[in-house]
Every structure is written in structure tokens, then in C-alpha cells.
Amino acid sequence: MNPKITTQKIALVAIFTALFYVLSLIAPIKIPTTVGTIEINFAALIASIFGLVLGPYLGATAALLGSSVTWALTGMSPYGLPFVIAPMFNALITGLIFYKKWKYAFVIFAIMIIAFLFTPPVTPLTGQSSLIGFNVPINNWYIALAVLFDKVIALAIILPLAFFGKKMSVAYGSAFFFLLSFVGNQADNMWGSLAYATPPVYSTIFQTPLEFVQIAFLASPFLYPIIRLIQAFIAMIIAVPLIRVLQGTNWLWSKDNIFSDAQKSLVTIAEVSQ
């Protein structure tokens, strides 16, 4: 049964919604590389914290509201509309794992990955595409691999987080939150890739040919995994001290989480050693 939604939690959703908007006003950190510019967006990475503090559902709500308000108050660009709900998946997946509902997180993430395999840029997987700048046709499965390899890794990470998270949060708390934030940020990116791969988005909104989308996807492994790793590292720096302060209080969505399990283990170990 879900923890009771209180006036305090509703107020927190409103505060976190405003926080998302404020952070979105901060110019992203831009790091030029040989293959493009890496942009670190603070608002996007903070969605992981939403899931940790507010839980999967309230956190996702706050992320969605924050992203929607940001989109509405910054010009309502049609280019940003398909990606408004991306931060919601970050908060949702992060919260579901942290609050021991990892099976739902795994299924949601897996569905997005599978759905991508049926989009025009990679369909059929056994087919080939002739792209400008390439001397030979490119296998569609290679395009799919370029987009999904890091997402599949993130999906696989959910399992050790779920089964060994209790031990990790005791001995390697920073590593636990880093991996958890990485998974959440990859879920955000997975939705972005899936949305961009649909004809209403790349053809109607962006008015770009399918070939351009495929080339962009081929370049994605050189930029996006690095961005997600950096975002996860920053989120970890915020999450570790924040959760330590909030544990044992009524500010977290529920006391029943992986971190609380870790504390029970410490108590048990202490009692046995006495």
C-alpha cells in the first residue's frame, strides 16, 4: 500500500516543481569535444533526486509539472514538446528502485527499449540503410545498437541495485546512488530517443528526413553516455548527504526503502557482535 499523501507532500511537490523551473533557467555546462558539444543540464539531473525524496509517483509528478511549466514559460517551442515528459521517467524509475518496486521500473524501461526496435530508423533490424557520408550501407541493427547499448547496460544495472542495493548502501553508498542516478538519467534519454524516432516528431515537428535521424543516432554513443555519467556523478554528490540527513524523518516518501533495509542490517550486525 502506498504511503499516505499528506499536505506536506503536496507542498513538497509544489516546491520541487518550482525548483525544477529555477534550475532550468541556469545555462547548461557546455564541454566542446571532437565529436560535438556535451551539455550538462541541471534540471534534467535533479529529477533523480525527486524520485528519491518524493517517491516514484509524487517525484514523477513534480518532474512532469516542472518540465511542463518550464516548457510553457520559455516559449512553448514545438521542438521541446515531445521531450517534456522525459524527466518524469527519470524520477519514476529512480523512485521505483529506491522504494523496492524495481520490477515495475524494469518493465517500464524494457518496454521503451523494445518499442524503439519497431521505429522507422531501425526497422527492419535485418535491413540496411544507405546514408550520406558512408561508403557502404549501414545495417539497421547497428543503428539500434548505437542507441541502445548504454540503455541495455542501465536496464541490467537495475538487477544488482535491487538484489544487492542493501549491502551497497551500507559499504558503498556513493556507488549505489551513482548507479541509481545513471539508470534514471538513461531512462530519461531512452524516452528522448524513442520520441525522436517516431515520424510525428522527426518528420512533422523537426521536419528532418529519416536519414538525418539515423546519422544522429549513429553519433549518439560518442556524446550521450558521457553526459549521463556526468549527470549521475553530480546527482550522487547531492543525493548522498541529502538522504543521510533525511533518513529517519518524515520527509522521505516512505521509510520502507533500500536505505532503511541497510540500516536494519547494520543493527542486526551490531546485535550479533555484542
Residue in 221, 207, 220, 202 with CA at minimum distance from that of residue 120: 202
Question: What values do phi and psi take at 70, rounded to 5?
Answer: -60, -45
Structural domain boundaries in the chain: 7-273
State the CATH architecture for 7-273.
Answer: Orthogonal Bundle (1.10)
**Three cell numbers written together for 66:** 516542472
Average pLDDT score over residue span 132-146: 87
Q: Do the beta carbons of residue 190 and residue 109 sit within 8 Å?
A: yes
The helix/strand/coil state of 216 is helix
Strands 138-139 and 128-129: antiparallel
pLDDT at residue 193 tops 50: yes
Of the chain, the percentage scoring pLDDT greater than 90 comes to 58
What distances in angstroms separate CA 71 from CA 10, 21, 80, 154, one per listed residue? Answer: 22, 9, 7, 28
Average pLDDT score over residue span 265-270: 36
Residues in the chain: 274
Q: Which residue has the higher pLDDT, 251 or 74?
A: 74
For residue range 195-238, list pLDDT tens digits in order: 999 999 999 999 999 999 999 898 877 777 888 888 899 999 99
Tell me what pLDDT residue 263 has: 56
pLDDT at residue 264 tops 60: no
Confirm whether pTM is higher than 0.85. yes
Tell me what pLDDT residue 165 has: 78
- What sign results for the dihedral spanned by CA atoms 206, 207, 210, 214? negative
Residue 117 burial (CB count, 10 A): 16
Q: Do the beta carbons of residue 148 and residue 54 sit within 8 Å?
A: no
Q: Do the beta carbons of residue 84 and residue 195 sit within 8 Å?
A: no
Q: Which residue has the higher pLDDT, 70 or 45?
A: 70
Using CA atoms, how far apart are residues 238 and 175, in angstroms rounded to an integer? 13
Tell me what pLDDT residue 130 has: 84
What distances in angstroms separate CA 3 from CA 54, 57, 64, 253, 254, one per listed residue? Answer: 11, 11, 20, 7, 6
